[in-house]
Structure 1
């Protein structure tokens, strides 16, 4: 493998770092949580207290 000058290594590191940050941001912001569409009615028994 031929030797690369340090500037080339830094450019390669910068390109891969920018790609990593870009894909991580795309993955984070493309997530859409599912909202529950069915609303279940909670039945509450009301107790009439007769003293």
Structure 2
């Protein structure tokens, strides 16, 4: 490993960075979650206060 030229280190570093970014992008777009549709309506609670 120490015999590698700096150019090889740079290309190896860029290769792993590109691979890492592609992995992140693939993992982000592979999961398509369906939005939860709420059919329940919220009811407004009314209180009749008698003092």
TM-score (norm 2): 0.61
Distance 1:23 1:9 in 2: 21
Identify the residue that residue 45 of structure 1 maps to in structure 2: none
Number of aligned positions between the proteins: 45
Q: Please give the root-mean-square deviation of Cα atoms over the aligned residues, in Å.
A: 2.3
Runs of 4+ in 1 over 4 A off after TM superposition: 39-42
| Structure 2 unaligned residues grouped into runs of 5+ | 43-51
TM-score (norm 1): 0.61
What's the offset of the Cα at 1:34? 3.8
Identify the residue that residue 11 of structure 2 maps to in structure 1: 11
Q: Structure 2 matches for 1:1-51, cutoff 5 A?
A: 1-36=1-36
